[in-house]
Amino acid sequence: MTNSFVMRSSKSRKRHAAEMRFQWMGRIAIIIAIGFLVFMVGSIAMMGAGALKQTHIAFDVDLSHNEIDPAFPEKADYDAIIKASLRKAFPDITDRREKRELYRLVSAEASFSLKNFVVNNPAHIGQTHKLWFIASDDVDLFFKGNITIDEKGNAGRLNAQEVAWVRIFERNQNIETRFNTRFFTAGDSREPELAGILSSLTGTAFTLLITFLIAFPIGIFSAIFLEEFIPQSRWGDIIEVNITNLAAVPSIVFGILGLTIFLNTFGMPRSSPLVGGLVLALMTLPTIIIASRAALRSVSPSIREAALGVGATQIQTVFHHVVPLALPGMLTGAIVGMARALGETAPLLMIGMVAFIVDVPNSILAPATALPVQIFLWADSPERAFLEKTSAAIIVLLVFLVLMNLIAIILRSKHRQRF
């Protein structure tokens, strides 16, 4: 008797342990998945945070009358002025190679910003001014501590001599980091310290605008037709099967469609937000239709019956009574679909939105790129300084995604109706 009791209790303990193990398997799986998410977003945020700051270097610039003609300030050789000023800051450098290394500390953009300064402030011609310039990407990485000095005294591509010069600037408080406005106001550049996301962000905005203008009306109209006019008909079933399958087609296939139909058959401009928006619209369409149908289905039949009962036609019933009630749900579906479109890269590669775009696109027909494609291009770049830019661009993309999803969640909870 006691024996069998002991046996049973050991068995029940075993079963209890198995139960606990099983529960923990589920917990561990969730912890792994969420842990990966946190690790990925966290490490990208850490890599990208540095891109918010940019290193600037200051030195005295001699804006003498010999170099700059006050009548035509834009014609002066500002590159030479920058170089001469740098030489003056380090008068003991005579070797040509060393001079070249010295010039490398400052970004290639310095001559343009000096020109802008002089053209806008002609009164300063003839004076000497301490001016701040963007440092080169190598100095930037070193000064922000992204690269450390190796045993030979080099820091990344900076040699020991250049590191020493940076230290001199540092001692004289002529080097500092500032908020990197350029990252948000400039287009792409071959020089990492000059590259910004504004051109790709504008491209994304144009593309998504086209996507919304095309996918939203077509999506809700076809949802209305399928749900309100031909429910449970053979044609409705065929279209429905078609839509669910379309929702699962790999996005790159939509890119191929855009390439052959929009570019090669219709001759639309390559790399343009118009074509990008069209392709993403077709891709987003199933999402919007499925969400809109669900929204229409949630409107109580009593609304329809009441409208029909007082003599409204079916079209009046749908458009005056059902659609207004379902609209928040439809809009939520559209935003979720647009959020997916925002992150899409592969179809845009197919239609040539991978170009190197410096200028901010000014129309839907101008060559453009999109933020995720910019991330792809920068991620491919061998320059180490682009790693930081890529991560920062990813953070910007994720922020936009979070914002869009938040809007969708708020919209959904605000207009949730119970019939």
Distances (CA, A) of 392 to 141, 297, 374, 379, 396: 15, 42, 11, 11, 6
**Which sign does the torsion angle of CA 310, 416, 410, 200 carry?**
negative
The minimum distance between CB 264 and other proteins, in angstroms, equals 7
Least distance from C-beta 149 to other proteins, angstroms?
22
- Residues contacting other proteins: total by CB under 8 A: 87
Q: Which of residues 265-294 bind other proteins (CB under 8 A)?
A: 282, 285-286, 289
Task: Give me the least distance between CB of 294 and other proteins, in Å please.
Answer: 14
Among 128, 264, 302, 362, the residue binding other proteins under the rule CB under 8 A is 264
Check residue 33 for interaction with other proteins (CB under 8 A).
Answer: yes
- Please count the other Cβ atoms lying within 10 Å of the Cβ belonging to residue 98: 16
**Which residues, 6 or more positions from 407, have their beta carbon under 8 angstroms from its beta carbon?**
335
207 binds other proteins (CB under 8 A): no
Q: Which stretch binds other proteins (CB under 8 A): 97-105, 113-121, 185-193, 239-247?
A: 239-247
Residue 294 neighbours by CB under 8 Å, 6+ apart: 329, 333
Residue 196 vs 219, nearer CB to other proteins: 219
Sequence-separated (6 or more) residues with CB below 8 Å from residue 296: 223, 224, 227, 228, 322, 323, 326, 329, 330
DSSP character string of 89-106: HSTT---HHHHHHHHTTB
CA 203, CA 288: separation in Å to the nearest integer? Answer: 22
Least CB distance to other proteins at residue 198 (A)? 19
Residue 391 is classified by DSSP as H
Based on its alpha-carbon atoms, the radius of gyration of the chain, rounded to whole angstroms, reads 31
Show Cβ contacts of residue 203 under 8 Å, excluding neighbours closer than 6 positions: 273, 276, 353, 357, 361, 368, 369, 370, 371
d(CA 398, CA 209): 19
- Binder among 203, 329, 337, 352 for other proteins (CB under 8 A): 352
Please report how close the Cβ of residue 145 comes to other proteins at its closest, in angstroms. Answer: 19
156 near other proteins (CB under 8 A):
no
Window 394 to 413, contacts with other proteins (CB under 8 A): 394, 397-398, 401, 405
Rounded to whole angstroms, the Cα distance separating 374 from 349 reads 11
Q: Does 359 bind other proteins (CB under 8 A)?
A: no
Binding mask 36-75 for other proteins (x = CB under 8 A): xx--xx-xx-------------------------------
Segment near other proteins (CB under 8 A), from 133-141, 152-160, 235-243, 325-333? 235-243
Nearest C-alpha neighbor of 283 from the set 317, 247, 308? 247
Query: Which residue number, 14 or 190, has a Cβ lying nearer to other proteins?
Result: 14
Instruction: Please give the DSSP secondary-structure letter assigned to residue 384.
Output: T
Residue of 242, 300, 302, 417 interacting with other proteins (CB under 8 A): 242
Q: How far is the CB of 385 from other proteins (least distance, A)?
A: 14
CB nearer to other proteins: pick between 102 and 348 = 348
Q: Closest approach of Cβ 72 to other proteins, in Å?
A: 42
Q: Which of 250, 324, 362, 413 binds other proteins (CB under 8 A)?
A: 250
Using CB under 8 A as the binding rule, the residues of this chain from 362 to 391 that contact other proteins are: 372-373, 375-376, 379-380, 387, 390-391
* Residues 95-134 contacting other proteins, CB under 8 A: none
Q: Which of 6, 7, 18, 306 binds other proteins (CB under 8 A)?
A: 18
- Exactly one of 345, 364, 367, 385 binds other proteins (CB under 8 A); that residue is 345
Find the binder of other proteins among 102, 110, 243, 291 (CB under 8 A): 243
Q: Rounded CA gap, 403 and 405, in Å? A: 5
**Terminal alpha carbon distance of the chain:** 61
Give the number of other CB atoms < 10 A from CB of residue 125: 16
Q: Which stretch binds other proteins (CB under 8 A): 83-91, 154-162, 179-187, 215-223?
A: 215-223
- Which of 127, 260, 302, 413 is close enough to bind other proteins by CB under 8 A? 260
Stretch that binds other proteins, among 115-123, 176-184, 188-196, 342-350 (CB under 8 A): 342-350
- For residues 56 and 174, give the distance between their C-alpha atoms in angstroms, rounded to a whole number: 8
Whole-number Å distance between alpha carbons of 251 and 372: 14
